[in-house]
Amino acid sequence: MADPADALRDLTTRHVERGQLQLDWIVSSAECGHQAKLALAKAAEILADDIPGRPPDAELARAWAEVGQGWATLSHAEAARSIAAAAFSIDQKGGQSIS
């Protein structure tokens, strides 16, 4: 696959290729969202640990929560990139004259 930036700028890039780029970004967004949920679940699991005489490891739970936040940020970025690519594609098509 070509470089995404080049593919979006190139007016000759086929619609299918642009659509595949958007699909890849949406799939990546979903996977990042899944990883975020797993990390946040791990943080909750750590906080829920009930070991007599020992408090839950809040520092470790916070670290997992931050990992989850990072994955959530990546998920949002991938989704935003897909939306921007769609808007860019529509804008480019709007500027073309039909012969």
Task: Name residue, tokens 């994955």.
Answer: 71
Q: Across the chain, what does the average pLDDT equal?
A: 82
Q: Where are the domains of the chain?
A: 20-49+56-85
pLDDT recorded at residue 99: 38
Question: Measured between alpha carbons, how far is residue 1 from residues 22, 50, 53 in Å?
Answer: 13, 50, 56
Q: Is the pLDDT of residue 4 over 60?
A: yes
Instruction: Residue 21: count other Cβ atoms within 10 Å of its Cβ.
Output: 21
Q: pLDDT for 61-98, tens place per residue?
A: 999 999 999 999 999 998 888 888 777 766 666 555 44
pLDDT higher than 60, residue 23:
yes
For residue 84, the model assigns a pLDDT of: 80
Residue 81: CB partners within 8 Å, gap ≥ 6? 25
Residue pointed to by tokens 């989704």: 79
Answer for the pair 18, 89: CB distance below 8 angstroms, yes or no.
Answer: yes
